[in-house]
Structure 1
Amino acid sequence: MKLAEVHIKLESRHDAATSWVEAAKAFLKSDQRRAVSCLQQAVSLYTDMGRLGMAARQLREIAEVLEKEGNKEECIMFYEQAADLFHTENSMAEANKCNLKIAQYAAELERYPQAVAIYEDVARACVENNLLKYSAKGHLLNAGICLLCSADVATVRGALERYCDTDINFDNSREHTFLAALADALDEGDVEAFTTAVADYDSLTRLDAWKTTLLVRVKRKITSRDEVEEEDLT
């Protein structure tokens, strides 16, 4: 930190920024909040110099520190700032990595429309890239799961039709079949069919913790609706 101050006096902003980053690395072992503060100093200097790619990397580092702390709200904010700068620098792959983190935490915080929009955007970008086109199905699956958490069945089915237009590989894929089965179970209020569809998919493609958490929320939608219907009958 002292070295950074000296570099500022010598008008060597690049070296000052590097010193702030080194200070942050040391603080990460003992005081993460001070590490974040040092990284913010580096971001400010890199931005002033027009080194937006470097600034974006430090913003992403801040987001990752906050992510480890479990601070989802703040880490989303810094991932958004990093994604914007990466996008400005035409580093689309890096921007998308940040955006996918935003979508992940937005969904966990029940900001489903934001998550859906990001997953759909990233899927469209993947379809246009020969190296990434086969990963589009996974992003569309995530978008569909978010919709199941938040939207009515008609909206989910309409989205599935759009997704088949977005990615020709999505039609008749395991992901499409899975989402369609979940939508049917939700529409019919059939918990057993929902559980079977999840188990069948999981036996072939292991569901990660994030998907499992959201699918539990969808299941609760079915069970809560059943409880309301039972109360109406009585």
Structure 2
Amino acid sequence: MGDESKGDDLLKKAEKKINGWGIFGSKYEDAAELFDKAANQYKLAKAWDKAGNTYLKLAECHLKMDSKHEAASACVDAANCYKKINTADAIQCYDAAVSHFMEIGRLNMAARYCKEIGELYENDQNFEQAIAYLERAADLFQSEEVTTSANQCMQRVAQLAASLDQYPKATEIFESIAKVSMNNNLLKYSVKGLLLNAGICHLCKGDAVAIHNALERYQDLDPTFSGTREHKLLSDLASAFDEEDIDKFTTAVREFDSMTRLDPWKTSLLLKAKNTLKEKELEEDDLT
């Protein structure tokens, strides 16, 4: 395992190299090698804060030598260390790496770490910032024609938007990805799930007319959709809204879940939709 005191010695030697005399490029190259070794010792010793700080010093060395790719990689290494102890510091380092990768045209790498930042914000329940970085990641992936990764990011954006009650945005994203996926033989299989997600978002708005209109659009988009369990669920739930029938809603969800397990996101939104239906039912009771 790593030796923290050995890391301290290597760090002192590296800093002495930088502050001493020497050929400009050579002293930074020598220091970079020592910083890298010191950071590795700290990392193996699980001294994450020291390791992160040392990787940042390594990044500075690479910038002095105009090696932005190596600087970006060092920032990523720093972020990976800070992630163990301090999310805010990790995000700052990933952000620096993104900037360096953008400057040298490594857009796929920039996208990858924008996605990483988005996921860290999501873990911290900061959904607005998570959405911003995941959207940026999707744009960068799309510019590199990495469509699958772009779609994955945007699907997560849609799910987070729905969690923030931004149903129109979520619906638009799910439907847009479904349309694009219909033209791709590898992605066609995912369309029914995307349309289910979009339909659930419509249900949360409690607009029965919009739900039925959506189901007609989905049939036009994918003629096979009407024969799926996903379509049956949405159709049954739409009928439950028409009839303001809580029991019918609950039964439809239970039957679907017994065949195809609902994930936590769908379960959460269906509960919101059910509560919306309950409110409609109570309004009717108040009027009678």
Distance in 2, matches of 1:228 and 1:154, equals: 18
Alignment of 1:98 with 2:153, yes or no, is: yes
Partner of 2:269: 214
Q: Does structure 1 retain, via aligned residues, the 8 Å contact 2:206–2:277?
A: no
Partner of 1:179: 234
Distance in 2, matches of 1:213 and 1:63, equals: 21
Q: Does structure 2 retain, via aligned residues, the 8 Å contact 1:96–1:122?
A: yes
Distance in 2, matches of 1:65 and 1:231, equals: 45
Distance in 2, matches of 1:8 and 1:81, equals: 25
Partner of 1:146: 201
Partner of 2:137: 82
Gaps of 5+ in 2: 1-55
Write the mapping of 1:1-234 to structure 2, written as runs, cut at 5 A: 1-233=56-288
The residue identity in structure 2 corresponding to 1:224 is E
Q: Indicate the SS of the match to 1:6.
A: helix
Q: Indicate the SS of the match to 1:171.
A: helix
Distance in 2, matches of 1:104 and 1:184, equals: 24
The residue identity in structure 2 corresponding to 1:21 is V
Deviations 1:25-47 (A, max 9, x none): 11011111101000111111111
Question: What TM-score do you get using the length of structure 1 for normalisation?
Answer: 0.97
How far apart are residue 151 of structure 1 and its match? 4.8
Q: Does structure 1 retain, via aligned residues, the 8 Å contact 2:111–2:137?
A: yes
Q: Does structure 2 retain, via aligned residues, the 8 Å contact 1:4–1:17?
A: yes
How far apart are residue 172 of structure 1 and its match? 2.2
How far apart are residue 222 of structure 1 and its match? 1.6
- Structure 1 segments, 4+ long, off by >4 Å, are none
Deviations 1:173-197 (A, max 9, x none): 1111110110010111011111111
The residue identity in structure 1 corresponding to 2:202 is L
Q: Indicate the SS of the match to 2:235.
A: helix
Distance in 2, matches of 1:134 and 1:96, equals: 14
Q: Does structure 1 retain, via aligned residues, the 8 Å contact 2:206–2:276?
A: no
Deviations 1:68-92 (A, max 9, x none): 2222111111001101111111111
Distance in 2, matches of 1:196 and 1:115, equals: 26
Distance in 2, matches of 1:146 and 1:131, equals: 25
Identity %: 47
Larger Rg: 1 or 2? Answer: 2
How far apart are residue 125 of structure 1 and its match? 2.0
Distance in 2, matches of 1:129 and 1:226, equals: 42
Q: Indicate the SS of the match to 1:206.
A: coil
Q: Pairwise CA RMSD of aligned residues? A: 1.0
Using CA pairs under 8 Å that are at least 6 residues apart, name the structure with larger relative contact order, 1 or 2.
Answer: 1
